[in-house]
Amino acid sequence: MKLRACGLATASSLALTGCLLTPGAFTSELHLMQDGAFSYSYDGEIQMLALSKLAEMADQPEEFEAECWDEEFETRECTPAEVKEQRAEWDAAASEREAEREKEAEQMRAVLGGIDPSDPEAAQELADKLERQRGWEMVTYKGDGLFDVDFRISGSLTHDFAFPTIEKMPMGSMFVTVMLRDENQVRIDAPGFAAQGGGNPMQGMMAGMAGLAQLAEDEDIGKIAVPEGTFTIVTDGRILANNTDEGPAAHSLGQTLVWEISPRTEQAPTALIAFD
């Protein structure tokens, strides 16, 4: 019960700060060309914090359990008097706990753009919503908040780009960002494709998800996705900086940068490219 409550609190905290989405198994590719042509694809899994399981957990009634420790901070059996005292404190705080639960539920609905995660149809509603947006070619719900998606978009890079974005949802968990700079330079960052290290807020979220994945082994909160796949940049521009292990490689269209992503990836992919 204590572990379940801890997992729910962790996941709810992550969700309410906007860190809603995490990649699972995926293949992602970004093309940036001298003539301004741009394309991006993401084929694989995206998870929304196993919301169906969190909703089930949130709906379960809370249970009182007295806790007592000895002088060495080891747990011990509580005396009847201690149980009675703790029970009285628990009952006195019932209305406060209920108010907090209702507040978090309202915040969750706001973060999800009005979608109620406790609704059995919420996942399909989100899938339908995404497929109405440009680029989301296919969105299939697999259960436990996990979606299988095929996202593809192309055009001319005349403004910054970020993936994913979802209508009416505040996005604090970008997988990939493409930022235009002066002097015809482009900065690419993929904070969503790193699970640990670097001090990046998104990476901190991923560390929290990894903790939930460990918790899932003991508590039935569903499958927790972690990033695993490849991120590739193809360009005919000048690669000024990158943090791949192997550096640029020749490609029929110019050069390519490839990052192999796993739960052990410490640094988020990043590159700086200039165009003449």
Q: Mean pLDDT check: name the lowest of 148-152, 218-222, 245-249.
A: 218-222
Between 61 and 25, the more confident residue is: 25
- Greater confidence (118 vs 35) lies with 35
Least confident of 9-23, 29-43, 164-178, 183-197: 9-23
In a domain, 78, yes or no: no
Residue 124 pLDDT class (50, 70, 90 cuts): confident
The reply to whether 107 falls in a domain is: no
- Is the pLDDT confidence value at 209 over 50? no
Q: Residue 253 phi/psi, 5° resolution?
A: -100, 0
Q: Comparing 261 with 266, which gets the higher pLDDT?
A: 261
Count of structural domains within the chain: 1
Residue 69 lies in a domain: no
* Residue-range definition of the domain harbouring residue 160: 2-52+119-274
What pLDDT, on the 0 to 100 scale, is given for residue 147?
93
112: in domain = no
Q: Is residue 206 part of a domain?
A: yes
Residue 75 lies in a domain: no
Check: pTM over 0.95? Answer yes or no. no
Residue 163 has pLDDT above 80, yes or no: yes
* CA angle, 100 then 106 then 109, to 5°: 140
| pLDDT higher at 2 or 274 | 274
70 within a domain of the structure (yes/no): no
Residue 102 lies in a domain: no
Mean predicted confidence (pLDDT) in 49-53:
56
